[in-house]
Amino acid sequence: MGKKTHLYFNRELSWLRFNQRVLDEARNPERPLLSRLKFLAITGSNLDEFCMVRVGGLQQLAAQGATEKDPAGLSAGEQLDAIGTAMHAMVAAQYDCLLKELEPKLAAAGLQRLGLAQLSPEQAAYVERLFEHEIFPVITPMAIDPEEVFPLLPGLSLNLFVRLPPAPGTDGLPRYAVVVLPKALPRFLTLPAAQGYQYVLLEDVVSAHLARLFPGQTITASVPFRLTRNADLSIREDLAGDLLAGMKEVLTERRQSACIRLEVSQAIDAESLAFLKMALGLHDRDLFPVPGPVDLAMYFRIAALPGFPDQQEADWPPQPSPDIAPQEPMFDAIARKDLLLVQPYDSFEPVVRLLTEAADDPHVLAIKQILYRTSENSPIVAALARAAEKDKHVTAVVELKARFDEARNIGWAAALERAGVQVIYGLRGLKVHAKACLIVRREATGIRRYLHLGTGNYNEKTARLYSDVSLLTCNEDLGADVSQFFNTITGYAQPSRYRKIESAPLTLRERLLELIQNEIERKKQGQPARIMLKLNSLVDTVMMDALVEASQAGVTVQLNIRGICCLRPGVAGLSENITVTGMVDRFLEHARILYFHNGGEPQVFISSADWMSRNLDRRVELLVPVEDAAARARLIGMLETCLADNVQGRRLTAAGVYERPAAVGKRKNIRAQEVFYRQARDAAAQARRGQDRVFEPQRPAAPPPPP
> Which residues are known to be catalytic?
433
Q: How far is CA 305 from CA 37, 209, 573, in A?
A: 11, 28, 53
CA distance linking residue 57 with residue 80, whole number of Å:
10
Query: Is the Cβ–Cβ distance between 300 and 39 less than 8 Å?
Result: no
CA distance linking residue 529 with residue 556, whole number of Å:
6
Stated as kind and residue range, the H or E segment containing 441 is: strand 436-443
Cα distance from N-terminal residue to C-terminal residue, the chain:
31
Peptide bond preceding 344 in cis form (omega within 30 of 0)? yes
Residue 47 phi/psi, 5-degree rounding, is -65, -35
Return the SS3 of 64: coil
Burial 543-571 (b: 16+ CB within 10 A, else e): bbebbbebbebbbbbbbbbbbbbbbbbbe
Q: Please, what is the Cα angle at 133 between 127 and 139, to 5 degrees?
A: 95
Stated as kind and residue range, the H or E segment containing 357 is: helix 349-360
String of DSSP letters for 319-340: BPPTTS-TT--HHHHHHHS-EE
Q: What is the 3-state secondary structure (H, E, C) of 522-588?
A: HHHCCCCCEEEEEECCECCHHHHHHHHHHHHCCCEEEEEECCCECECCCCCCCCCCEEEEEECCCCE
Q: How far is CA 637 from CA 454, 623, 629, in A?
A: 18, 20, 12
Residue 143 phi/psi, 5-degree rounding, is -75, 145
CA distance linking residue 452 with residue 385, whole number of Å:
18
Return the SS3 of 603: strand
Among 419, 416, 456, 422, residue whose Cα is nearest residue 436: 456
Q: How many CB atoms lie within 10 A of CB 289?
A: 17
Query: Is the Cβ–Cβ distance between 229 and 255 less than 8 Å?
Result: yes
